[in-house]
Amino acid sequence: MKKLFILIIMSIFFSSSAGVALAHFGMLIPSDSMVMQNDNRTINVKLSFSHPFEGEGMELVEPVVFGVMANGKKADLLKTLRKTKLMGHTAWETSYTIKRPGVYMFYMEPKPYWEPAEDCYIVHYTKTVVTAFGDDEGWDQEIGLKTEIVPLSKPYGLYTGNVFQGIVKMDGKPVPFGEVEVEYYNKDRKAQAPTDYMVTQTIKADANGVFTYSAPKAGWWGFAALNTSDKKIKGKNVEIGAVLWVRFHDWK
């Protein structure tokens, strides 16, 4: 009986430690990040919550906030959302027509998501940036989210291998040594990681809240800076993430 007990304990240990926990990412992916004069001026924007590299979706109920900031002005787009499916789960989408030059920052605040595996709620303040018709002023502006990644590199027009930098902020102040998870949106599921440890890469910001990353592959990459909120929900901790999606392009 004693040997059987030991075998059961070892089995539980190895089965629970065999895999690396998957990272959560709020996702906000536009059909185009750089709209040029001859391009389709109406872009599609998809909102979801998932493990982007593994292609495993989670339910995203209708967000609390969804909008766009352009030329310093915000517009509420919540009522334009249509329910859809992405990775087999509830997601949302909208069509947005760009009528004038500018930098368009799309952003989302979701309702808190309960994650029993981590015994906490998750709220990812998510954004992405689209530029249009040659105007590229204001890409480093802050939207004013509870927590936010403010880019130090233009968050568009990036080649694969370019260095991307951003500042992790919470309540408008830099977060020293904040942890940032980085993951590739494996949309066609063709990319394979050598081990589970390489599905999500983790880096840390410096004393000024600045992080640096060089993407090894073209496509959409998500940066999620994670912190714990100073407020609880039903007595449970709340993980708040500042998430920014950036697209990299191959040199051709």
- pLDDT value of position 16: 38
- pLDDT value of position 19: 52
* Residue 2 falls inside a structural domain: no
Element (H, E) at 2: helix 2-17
- pLDDT value of position 21: 65
CATH of the domain at 115: 2.60.40.3340
* Residue 14 falls inside a structural domain: no
Sign of CA dihedral 164, 170, 174, 180: negative
Euclidean distance between CA atoms 162 and 120, whole angstroms? 35
* Residue 1 falls inside a structural domain: no
Low-confidence ranges of the chain (pLDDT < 50): 4-18
94 and 45 Cβ atoms separated by less than 8 Å: yes
Q: How many domains does the chain have?
A: 1
* Residue 3 falls inside a structural domain: no
Question: What's the number of CA atoms in the CB half-sphere (13 Å) around residue 120?
Answer: 16
* 3-state DSSP assignment of residue 17: helix
- pLDDT value of position 148: 98
Structural domain of 100: 23-249
- pLDDT value of position 5: 44
- pLDDT value of position 109: 97
* Residue 54 falls inside a structural domain: yes
- pLDDT value of position 23: 87
* Residue 58 falls inside a structural domain: yes
* Residue 214 falls inside a structural domain: yes
* Residue 199 falls inside a structural domain: yes
- pLDDT value of position 244: 98
